[in-house]
Amino acid sequence: MCMKMTLKVGITGGIGSGKSTVCRIFEVLGIPVYYADERAKWLMHNDPKLIEGIKSAFGEATYHPDNTLNRPYLADLVFNDKEKLKILNSLVHPAVFQDGLDWNEVHGDTAYTLKEAAILFESGSYLTVDKIITVFAPKELRIERVLQRDNTDKAAIEARMSKQMPEEEKIERSDFVIYNDGEQSLIEQVLEVHKTLLSQSENFTSS
Ligand code: ATP
């Protein structure tokens, strides 16, 4: 038997590409957005099972006595230690995965949902979506925008960029690309993708 399903769409792009900005436009169109990075931070503060897992892997000192995360301490531990980072990811990713499933249940009556994640491919969550959008902006423009947005410097931004999957690869693996290069209208591109996704969602079923 075929069942009508909500189409799940992932949206990604490198640091400063404009993912969140694009998602705000989709939200204006009535599409619910799951912000995976923000949600991961929230879960690290609020999910008892995840908190226990982090404490037993990295020690009680990863949380303050009031149970808020000692973020600088944990960041220091994992920043230059790939093994530790892998352990942290193996705790956080399943928690976000489960949380995303619960969130999708709540939004089962919309044509499609969006999941925004900087590391959609790297985390494996691309496997949980049906379509993928990459937001692309040239590197220099991304650096310029992040410098204006965050209290950071160019070297720190480039260090983060170097740890992310190259944009060309993301584009190759995506169904849609939205160019946020200051040349092409963001709103028109979003409307075009929205229209296509609405029509694709009409016939989206699972057997
Ligand atoms: P991150 O992965 O770092 O969270 P992001 O991909 O979500 O970044 P945004 O936060 O949406 O990127 O955009 C980065 C900055 O650039 C923001 O301050 C945003 O307001 C600005 N910005 C994004 N798109 C545009 C645009 N088309 N014109 C001007 N500013 C923009």
Mean pLDDT value across residues 28-37:
96
Going by alpha carbons, the residue nearest to atom 9 of ligand 1 is 18
Q: Scanning the structure block, which residue is given the tokens 């799940």?
A: 8
- Round the average pLDDT of the chain to a whole number and report it: 93
Q: Does the pLDDT at position 133 exceed 90? A: yes
Pocket test for ligand 1, best of 12, 15, 20 (most atoms within 8 A of CB): 20
At 2, is the pLDDT very low, low, confident or very high (cuts 50, 70, 90)?
A: low
Cα 101 to middle of ligand 1, angstroms? 27
Closest ligand 1 atom to 17 CA:
6
pTM of the model: 0.91
3-25+39-197 has which fold?
Rossmann fold (3.40.50)
Contact 54, 74 (CB under 8 A): yes
Instruction: Kindly state if the Cβ of 142 falls inside 6 Å of ligand 1.
Output: no
Mean pLDDT of 19-37: 97
pLDDT, residue 26, reads: 98
Say how many Å lie between the CA of residue 142 and the centre of ligand 1.
Answer: 8
Where exactly are the structural domains of the chain?
A: 3-25+39-197
Task: Specify the ligand 1 atom closest to the Cα of 37.
Answer: 4
